[in-house]
Amino acid sequence: MINAIAVILSCQLAGEAAARGLSLPVPGPVLGFVLLFTLLWLRPSLAESIGGTARGILAHLSLLFVPAGVGVVGNLDLLSRNWLPIAVVLVVSTVIAMIASVATFLAVHRLTRGGND
């Protein structure tokens, strides 16, 4: 487990350093994700040693959002003044994004299906 943590944190650290150092618009953890994916691609055996820990973190992904979610208490003023438009924006835009995305996925899948699945 400690090896896995070392690998994951090193990727994140390298990602953060690259994002800051080169002032890239992509956040550090995303670069860390790309880096870890590249490492796994180059050395597939790495997946065995870090897979368990990585899945362990991802299994409780919901928990990780709770501290930020509780931040609602610090924004109650702004939110209560604008709650209706904000609620409409969030619901409408999230639902149409899902509709647009799923419709595109299925349409392109139908167009490109070359008998391979």
Partner 1 sequence: MTDVARIWSYLSTEPLLWLTCTIVVYVAAEAVAMRLGRRALANPVLFSVIIIAPILWLSDTPYETYFEGAQFIHFLLGPATVALAVPLHANLRTVTRTAGPILAALLVGSVVAALSAVLLAKAFGLPDQVIVSLSPKSTTAPVALGISEALGGLPTLTAVLVILTGIIGAITVTPLMNAMGVTDWRARGFAVGVAAHGIGTARAFQVNELAGTFAGIGMALNAILTSLIAPLIVALVL
Smallest gap from residue 38 Cβ to partner 1 (A): 8
Looking at residues 26 to 55 of the shown chain, list those that interact with partner 1 (rule: CB under 8 A).
Answer: 26-30, 32-37, 40-41, 44, 47, 50-51, 53-55
Asked whether position 115 contacts partner 1 by CB under 8 A, the answer is no
Q: What is the 3-class SS of the chain, one letter each residue?
A: CHHHHHHHHHHHHHHHHHHHHCCCCCCHHHHHHHHHHHHHHHCCCHHHHHHHHHHHHHHCHHHHCHHHHHHHHHHHHHHHHCHHHHHHHHHHHHHHHHHHHHHHHHHHHHHHCCCCC
Among 22, 67, 80, 115, binds partner 1 (CB under 8 A): 67
Instruction: Among 2, 22, 61, 115, indicate the residue that binds partner 1 (CB under 8 A).
Output: 61
Whole-number minimum distance, CB 42 to partner 1, in Å?
11
